[in-house]
Amino acid sequence: MAAYVVLDPKLIPTPLVVKKQSFERKPPARASLLRPLILAWISAGLVARLVSAGFAPASERSSKRGAIVREYFEHLGGMWLKLGQLLAMRVDVFSKEFCNELTELQDRVSAFDTATARKIIEAQIGAPITAAFANFKDEPIGAASLAQVHKAQFHDGTLVAIKVLRPNADRLFQIDFAWLRAWFSLLDRLDLGRSFNWLEMLQEVHTLIEEELDYSHELAAIEQMRVTLAAHGIYVPKPFPEYSGRRVLVMEFIPGVTIAEYIRMQRVDPARAEAWLDENDIDRREVARVLCSSLLRQMFEDNVCHGDLHPGNIMLLRDSRVALLDFGTVGSFDAEFTSVYRLYLTAIAMGNIGEAADLMLWISKPLPPDIEINRVRREIMTSLRNWRARTRQTSIGVEKRSLSSSSEEIGQIMIKYGFESNWSILKLGRTYSTLDMTLNAIYPEVNYPDLLEGYYRGFIRRRIKSSIKDLATLPLRIMDYAPLFLPQLRASSFEYSRPKPSSAQVFVQWLLRHARLLLTSAAIFMLAVYYAQHRPATWSRLFSPEGAVSGLVERVPSTSPALCLILGLVALYLAWSAHRAIRKR
C-alpha cells in the first residue's frame, strides 16, 4: 500500500542524506529504593569535581564547572535535564560561560527493548499492534530519557510517529523529586542562595515534568497549536486521539528534514546542503523571519507558545515553509506581563530607547530601596544603544547580536542594583534564546531590529483589521443587549410622571454617545492618515513631524487613498447612525 501523509505532498522536500542515529538497547531503569543513596553518591562526586575545578585558571573556571554540572545532569537524565535547563536560564545568578555550558545539555540515553514498547502501545489501544497498524518499525527513530519514538503505518497508508513513555519514568520522577525537594527546602530554610528562589524553581520543575509524564497534556497542546500556528503559515502534525493516552501519543509522521539534520550536512558537505536548499526553494532569510515572527505572535498575541524551538524540533519543508515538532513544553505567560514586554520590544524596534528603559523598569518592579533610578535607567539605555549598534555589524558573531545577549546584559545591570529575579523574564529569555541558537545555525546574518520591526508592522495591520471588525459589528452588539433592557423600557414608557430615565435608558444613551465619539474619531483619524501619507506637504504645515499626532499616524502601515476614504466613510456613516439613534431617544 502506498504511504499516505496528511501534509500536502507538494510541501515534502527531497531527502537530505544524513547518517541516521542508531540507539543502543538497554533494559529500562528500575525505580529502586536505593535510588536516594545512588543520588547522594553521584552528588558527592559532583561536589568533589566542582571543588577541584576551583583550582583551574580563573578564565576557565566557570566553563569547567558548567561542563561538570552538565555531565552530571546528562548522566541522571529525566527530571535533572529539566533542572539543568532552568539553571541555564539563571544568567542573573551564574556567569555567562557557566550558563552556555548548560545550554548544551543533551539527552544521551539508550533505547529500551521493542517488546516493552509494543506492550505499552497494545495496552493503550486495547488490541494487538497488527490490528491498528499495517507496519511497525521495531528500531526507534528517536530516544530520550522520558520516551522513545517508533515509526508505524495505519492500514490506510498513513504514516505515524508513536511516542512511548519509558517504563518506570513516573516512579523515578517521584523518587528524584522527593530527594530534590528535601535539599531545596533545607536551602530555603537556611536562607542560602536567596536569589535562586529555590521553592519557585522546584515548582517549575514539578510542573514541567508532570506534564511530560502525561501525554494527554501534549495531545491537547498539539490540537490547540494546530489551529494557532495555521494562521502563522506553520504546520503542526495531526494527532490521533483515538490511539493516544497518558503513556502513548500517536501523531502524523512528517517526511521532512529538521534544521538539526541540515546543520549536520552543512558541516560535512556545505555545497550539498546549499544545493538542497535551492532544490527545494528554501530561503534561509524567510525561514528566520517566519520563525521569529511566529514566536513573537505566540508570546504576545496568542499567549501560548512552543517553549523549545531548538533545531531538532523545527522541520524544513518546500517553499520556505516549516513544521514544528514536540509540544511537551507549550506554555503561557501572565497577560499583563506580556503586554508590557511587547511594548518594550516595540520600543526597541522603533529606536525609542528611553521608552524601552522605562518599560523594563516597570516590569522589574518592585524597585530596591534607596535605588538611584535615573542611574539605572541611563545604564539600561546605554546597553540597548550598544546592542542596536552591534546588530548592524554582521562581522560580529550572532551571539553578540541576539535578543538573548541584550537580555543578559540588562539582567546583569538589574543584579548589580539589587533587583529581584523576575521568573517571567527568565522564562521568556530562555524561550527566545533557544530560537537564537536555531537562527544562528540557519541564518547567521540575522538582523534582530529588522525582525522586530517587521513583526510590529504585521501586528499593527492585524490590530487595525480587528478594530474595523469591531466597529462594523458595534451596532449589532448594541442590538444584542437590547433584549436585556427593552422589557424595562416598555414597562416604564407609561410612567409619564417619573422625572428621571431608567438605568437601562441611561446605559443605552451612554453606549450610543461613546460609540458616536469613537466612530467620529475614527473618521477624523483616517482623514489624518490620508493627508500624512498622500498629502505630506499639507500635513507638515499643519502638524510638527516630532509631535505626538504625527508619531501616532506614522505607525499606521501604508494605506491606499481609496481604502482611507472607504474606512473614513464607513466610520462616519456609523457615527451618523448612532447620532440619529440618540436624537430619537
Q: Are residues 434 and 525 in the same domain?
A: no
Q: Are residues 356 and 412 in the same domain?
A: yes
148: closest CA among 109, 184, 178? 109
pLDDT higher than threshold 60 for residue 488:
no
- Is residue 457 in some structural domain? no
Q: How many CB atoms lie within 10 A of CB 210?
A: 13
Q: Are residues 69 and 179 in the same domain?
A: yes
Domain's final residue, options 446, 477, 505 = 446
- Is residue 326 in some structural domain? yes
Q: Are residues 323 and 438 in the same domain?
A: no
Please give the full DSSP string across 185-214, using - where no structure is assigned: HHHHHTT-SGGG-HHHHHHHHHHHHHHHT-
Q: Are residues 391 and 416 in the same domain?
A: yes
Q: Are residues 155 and 237 in the same domain?
A: yes
Q: Are residues 565 and 471 in the same domain?
A: yes
Q: Are residues 248 and 300 in the same domain?
A: yes
- Is residue 91 in some structural domain? yes
Q: What is the mean predicted confidence (pLDDT) over 35-39?
A: 85
What does the alpha-carbon distance between residue 121 and residue 328 come to, in Å, rounded to a whole number? Answer: 19
Please give the residue that has the higher pLDDT: either 466 or 44. Answer: 44
Contact 18, 267 (CB under 8 A): no
Mean pLDDT of the chain: 82
What does the alpha-carbon distance between residue 121 and residue 161 come to, in Å, rounded to a whole number? Answer: 12
pLDDT higher than threshold 90 for residue 474:
no
What does the alpha-carbon distance between residue 553 and residue 533 come to, in Å, rounded to a whole number? Answer: 9
Residue 450 designated active-site: no
With 0-12 CB in 10 A as exposed, 13-18 as middle and 19+ as buried, what is 323?
buried
Q: How confident is the model at residue 498 (pLDDT cuts 50, 70, 90)?
A: very low
What is the extent of the structural domain holding 469?
A: 462-584
Q: Are residues 41 and 164 in the same domain?
A: no
pLDDT higher than threshold 50 for residue 139:
yes
What does the alpha-carbon distance between residue 20 and residue 27 come to, in Å, rounded to a whole number? Answer: 22
- Is residue 552 in some structural domain? yes
69: closest CA among 35, 102, 103? 102
Q: Name the catalytic one among 308, 326, 436, 450.
A: 308
What percentage of the chain carries pLDDT values higher than 70?
A: 80
pLDDT higher than threshold 50 for residue 246:
yes
Q: Are residues 16 and 141 in the same domain?
A: yes
The confidence score (pLDDT) of residue 319 equals 96
Q: Tens of pLDDT along 529-548?
A: 776 777 776 666 666 666 65
Q: Are residues 270 and 409 in the same domain?
A: no
Contact 276, 157 (CB under 8 A): no
DSSP-assigned beta bridge partners for residue 258: 315
Domain's final residue, options 330, 351, 366 = 330
- Is residue 490 in some structural domain? yes
Please give the residue that has the higher pLDDT: either 406 or 475. Answer: 406
pLDDT higher than threshold 90 for residue 12:
yes
Please give the residue that has the higher pLDDT: either 476 or 284. Answer: 284
Range with the poorest average pLDDT among 39-43, 151-155, 203-207 = 203-207
- CATH number of the domain enclosing 233: 3.30.200.20
Q: What is the mean predicted confidence (pLDDT) over 148-158?
A: 95
The confidence score (pLDDT) of residue 2 equals 46
- Is residue 30 in some structural domain? no
Domain's final residue, options 396, 419, 446 = 446
Q: Tens of pLDDT along 567-578?
A: 777 767 676 666
What does the alpha-carbon distance between residue 269 and residue 173 come to, in Å, rounded to a whole number? Answer: 41
Helix axes of 259-268 and 270-279: crossing angle, nearest 10 degrees: 140
pLDDT higher than threshold 50 for residue 494:
no
Q: Tens of pLDDT along 364-390?
A: 878 888 889 999 999 999 999 999 998
Structural domain total, the chain: 4
Please give the residue that has the higher pLDDT: either 104 or 150. Answer: 150
Q: Tens of pLDDT along 418-444?
A: 887 777 887 887 787 788 888 888 898
Contact 366, 417 (CB under 8 A): no
What does the alpha-carbon distance between residue 364 and residue 420 come to, in Å, rounded to a whole number? Answer: 8
pLDDT higher than threshold 70 for residue 475:
no
Q: Is the pTM higher than 0.75?
A: no
Q: Are residues 373 and 438 in the same domain?
A: yes
The confidence score (pLDDT) of residue 496 equals 40
- Is residue 318 in some structural domain? yes
